[in-house]
Amino acid sequence: MFIDRKSLYLQSVFMCSYPFKSFLLEENAQRSREYEEQRKEAMLHFQKTLGDIEVQMEQHSSHNAKLRLENMELAEKLKKLIEQYELREEVRLRRRAGGQSSELLLTQPFSFSTSTKSSSTRSCSSS
């Protein structure tokens, strides 16, 4: 029986490389499992973070809506306060003008100066 050297060589290479191939296949499978596990962990972390952000956005949206409502109420109160002030100022000016008799206003000379030159001269300065 004649054994070919080439076939013997190939057979020995195959026999020697089979454990190495098996080792490589197992190592690749292990790396693949580790990569898949890391990917799943990263995906879960991303989903959790995204959920946390959504919750915060809902909380902030609710808080902003309350602040917006409060601002509108305060603006309305300020508007009413300004209207009341203007009305009081108008009433005060009418009372002030109504308190002086029309005869006295007609008999006193009128002056635009801010200083009083005599007691008989009336000035246009506001007090």
Per-residue pLDDT band at 14 (split at 50, 70, 90)? low
> pLDDT by residue (tens digit) across 87-108?
999 999 988 887 665 445 555 5
Q: 57 lies in which domain range?
A: 7-90
Q: In angstroms, rounded to a whole number, what is the distance separating the alpha carbons of residues 38 and 76?
A: 56
**pTM surpassing 0.75?**
no
| Residue 104 in domain | no
Q: Output 27 or 43, whichever has higher pLDDT.
A: 43
Residue 109 inside a domain? The answer is no
55 within some domain = yes
Our count of domains for the chain comes to 1
Whether residue 28 has pLDDT greater than 70: yes
Q: What is the pLDDT of residues 35-94, one digit of tens each?
A: 999 999 999 999 999 999 999 999 999 999 999 999 999 999 999 999 999 999 999 998
Q: Is position 107 within any domain?
A: no
Between 124 and 42, residue with greater pLDDT:
42
Cα 104 versus chain centre, distance: 63
The verdict on residue 21 lying in a domain is yes
- Mention every residue, 6+ apart, whose C-beta is less than 8 A from residue 115: 123
